[in-house]
Structure 1
Amino acid sequence: MRDFALRTTCYLLLILTGLTMDSVAQKDQKIFLNGVIKNVNNEAVDGATVFLKDAKEGHLIEQTLSGKDGVFSFTLKAGTYLISISYLGALSYQSDLIKVSSDANLGIIKIDITPRSLKEVVIQSSGSKPLIKIEGRKMIYNVEKSIAAQGSNALEALKKTPGIIVNQDNTITLNGASTALVTINGRPTYLQADELAQLLKSMSASDLKSIEVIKNPSAEYDASGTGGIVNLILQKSIAEGFNGNINNGIAYGISLKQNTNMNLNFRKGKVNAFGSYNHNFGHYAMDYDNDRTTNGKTYLNANHDVDKKHSIGSTLGLDYAIDTTKTLGIVINANFSSGGGLITPTTNIFDESTGALLQTLRSESSYPDQMAKRYNTNLNYRYKGSNRTSLDIDADYG
């Protein structure tokens, strides 16, 4: 009798353990949520920004772009979510509560895109200047009017720009392509993705006047911008005499961060001299994951990456106005970054057929200190005549 009771207790414990493991596995099981975005003419919408939000807290979990066929998809866990969609010149879309416990297809979601809405769309913020303005092919995001961008660096401001996604490898995506051309004051940067990210991290968001997003550039723009153009417009004083500003910021999230930026400007008659200094110190944490299925097993890999690089940037420039339509200028940029980082990956291995958790692997690896230096000199000539006639000539060395 005693042995029977012991065996019964063991069986019950095994059943409860199995139910618990099954519950955990189901909770961590990946679920696919997808849909198709079309306009009122039943045509696929390419490059719409789709936001996935937590229904309870309203926090943004992930964002993606629709493809050329209008399809978008998310990989997520069971829960309740909200979907919202924005598109340059299109009315925004907000879903009802979406409760998912298994793979789900939202079907066709229609948004209204009309030629009239593409002429000029304005999203007004407090103050006289709009936060977002759309003029034809161009969307203008006025960073100086964005409360969300204040106190951050230029890369963070870029991430908050509608329609732009900065991937974990620092490539900038627009229209679903990784070939977006990034320019500063209309001039190409000629930097690799990591170098550009370090440059933008060294710049304060307060250095930016606006960010221009051009989804489908016309022939007047650089041919390398076939995936779209992102143009960062820097603040520049038009006041006579000497002026400048210094900003210091401290932020604490997972770790302490400190940034300083200084801008100086001297303008007299036809001559304008300007310079800036920026630094960004602190650790930046990123979380990203991926999954794969092979030989009957599903591998879910989650990475916690802490970037410990410090970055410093400086600029010196001189413009000479030949007359009201012609300007000759020189700009010298110097950017430095140094530091290492730490990656902590965790891999959960599941049985593909049952969803049972088979094994969990954890590790930690650091990458060594890296030093990068970048110098660039730009000579430029600008002509802006009447009837929108313009001519830009640039010569770069670096």
Structure 2
Amino acid sequence: MKKIITLLLPCFLRFLSVEAQTTGQISGKVVDEKHIAVMYGAVSLVRAIDSVQVKSAITTEKGEFKFLNLSEGTYLIAVEWMGYQKNLNGPFKISSENRLLSIPQIVILPATKQLNTVSIIGQKPLIERKNNLLIMNVANSTLAAGSTALEILAKAPGVSIDNDGNISFRGKPGVNVMIDGKLTYLSATQLANLLRTTDGNSIQTIEFMTNPSSKYDAAGTGGLINIKLKKNTNYGTNGTLTAGSGYGNYYKSNAGVSLNHRSKDINLFGNYNFSNLKEYEDLDIKRSTSSSNDRTYFDQQGRDISIRKNNSYKAGMDYYLGDRNIIGFAMSGYINHLDANNNINTLISNRPGAVDSSVTATNLGKGKYTSQTYNLNYKVYWILPDRN
């Protein structure tokens, strides 16, 4: 029985690693200068060491917010609200001794106004709320640089993604995901692969709906997420070229090209994105099992290294039948490759601190994921009569 348990343990490492790394939560409340609760304010959690955004949230009607499943580390909290100064607070430290952190009340102040001169600067906030719609303005934000759609989505308020790619919104599974207003009709694994190949620089906004209207498919029970990609509507031939790279413990790089040609009657478009990412997960787990009067201790240490090479593409055409009618065709797809190397060392003993035996395992894996989608659409733009 002990041998079976020992051999099966590496199979669960990827699932256990997430549980081992998440330790705590930070909660708080935001008020204005009159100590009135700030409703639907944008709150961001960033790492203090490099200012990388980890999560985001929207304050409730009572001005409260909460960040769950946080790894050990030191964080800063940024608060943004229309007409008020951006507020940065911290640092706040999460550790094994301090897992549940309730921070002091955050007070934000009105933005100062200068009456002598008039300067109008338009910049959309990262997160805004319109009626039943929560909008994340990804374009031109720090989230887009070097990130995939899956990584950006994981930082959105109320969104959580497990190791299998299942997306939950505000704790509810069964979320419908759309791209440019069209349902993907993909499994959780296929959708995760598609989002991994979607470059963050190609995203304009992400919309979140908890109670979609009747015009949307009612198959999902956890709400609806609509990812809107950037569109170029300029006449003539134009395009963009993007490239980026980074290095932490390992490297990552990405590149993309987008081309567009539009005349009076026709619009041709296409894009291609590539990313090359080497990442790792470290695991340190201590476990024990008992049977009758015998207890066995397991001390596991391992590193899972994976290399992902993702390719995504899209091409299509829109034909304008007058001013209010458009017929279009689009083809999109992806080709992803995965190489994984998981090295595990397990020390076994009948008492803590002693080693009776050890098991060393190397698990190699290769994967290839492909998908191709075709879409034919017809759009009609209605103009409402003037009632004046």
The 1-side partners of 2:201 and 2:46 are apart by 28
Alignment-mate amino acid for residue 239 of structure 2: G
Where do residues 82-161 of structure 1 align in structure 2 (5 Å cutoff)? 128-134=122-128, 135-161=130-156
Give the CA RMSD over aligned residues.
Answer: 4.9
Please say if residues 199 and 311 of structure 1, whose CA atoms lie closer than 8 Å, have aligned partners that are also in contact. no
Q: What residue in structure 2 maps to residue 278 of structure 1? A: 273
The 2-side partners of 1:39 and 1:298 are apart by 47
- Report the TM-score when normalising by structure 1: 0.64
Alignment-mate amino acid for residue 155 of structure 2: K
The 1-side partners of 2:185 and 2:206 are apart by 18
Q: What residue in structure 1 maps to residue 379 of structure 2? A: 382
SS at match of 1:341: strand
The 1-side partners of 2:252 and 2:50 are apart by 26
Change (3 A) 1:39 1:368: same
Structure 2 runs not aligned, ≥5 long: 1-19, 32-41, 59-64, 107-119
Which of residues 370, 381, 384 in structure 2 aligns to 1:373? 370
Please say if residues 259 and 281 of structure 1, whose CA atoms lie closer than 8 Å, have aligned partners that are also in contact. yes
Q: Does 1:253 align with 2:248?
A: yes
Cα offsets for 1:281-335 (capped at 9, x unmatched) = 2323345788987648897877643322312111111122334443322111121
Q: Which structure: greater helix fraction?
A: 1
The 1-side partners of 2:158 and 2:21 are apart by 26
The 2-side partners of 1:30 and 1:200 are apart by 24
Alignment-mate amino acid for residue 267 of structure 1: R
Change (3 A) 1:31 1:242: closer
Alignment-mate amino acid for residue 382 of structure 2: G
Where do residues 156-235 of structure 1 align in structure 2 (5 Å cutoff)? 156-235=151-230
Which of residues 255, 258, 266 in structure 2 aligns to 1:263? 258
> What displacement does 1:206 show?
1.3
State which drifts further: 288-297 or 371-380.
288-297
The 1-side partners of 2:306 and 2:245 are apart by 17
Cα offsets for 1:340-367 (capped at 9, x unmatched) = 212245678999xx9x667797744333
% identical equivalent positions? 25
> What displacement does 1:217 show?
2.2
Change (3 A) 1:301 1:376: farther
The 2-side partners of 1:303 and 1:218 are apart by 47
The 2-side partners of 1:63 and 1:39 are apart by 17
The 1-side partners of 2:44 and 2:241 are apart by 37
Change (3 A) 1:35 1:268: closer
> What displacement does 1:60 show?
8.0
Q: What residue in structure 2 maps to residue 390 of structure 1? A: none
> What displacement does 1:224 show?
2.4
The 2-side partners of 1:94 and 1:237 are apart by 38
Structure 1 runs not aligned, ≥5 long: 1-28, 41-47, 112-125, 388-398
Please say if residues 55 and 156 of structure 2, whose CA atoms lie closer than 8 Å, have aligned partners that are also in contact. no
Please say if residues 245 and 263 of structure 1, whose CA atoms lie closer than 8 Å, have aligned partners that are also in contact. yes
State which drifts further: 255-264 or 194-203.
194-203
> What displacement does 1:377 show?
0.7
State which drifts further: 296-305 or 217-226.
296-305
The 1-side partners of 2:52 and 2:92 are apart by 15
Cα offsets for 1:160-211 (capped at 9, x unmatched) = 3333233222222211123222111011112223322322222321111111
SS at match of 2:239: strand
Please say if residues 56 and 155 of structure 2, whose CA atoms lie closer than 8 Å, have aligned partners that are also in contact. no
Aligned residues: 334
Change (3 A) 1:358 1:195: farther
The 2-side partners of 1:151 and 1:321 are apart by 35
The 2-side partners of 1:192 and 1:86 are apart by 36
Please say if residues 130 and 145 of structure 1, whose CA atoms lie closer than 8 Å, have aligned partners that are also in contact. no
Q: What residue in structure 1 maps to residue 112 of structure 2? A: none
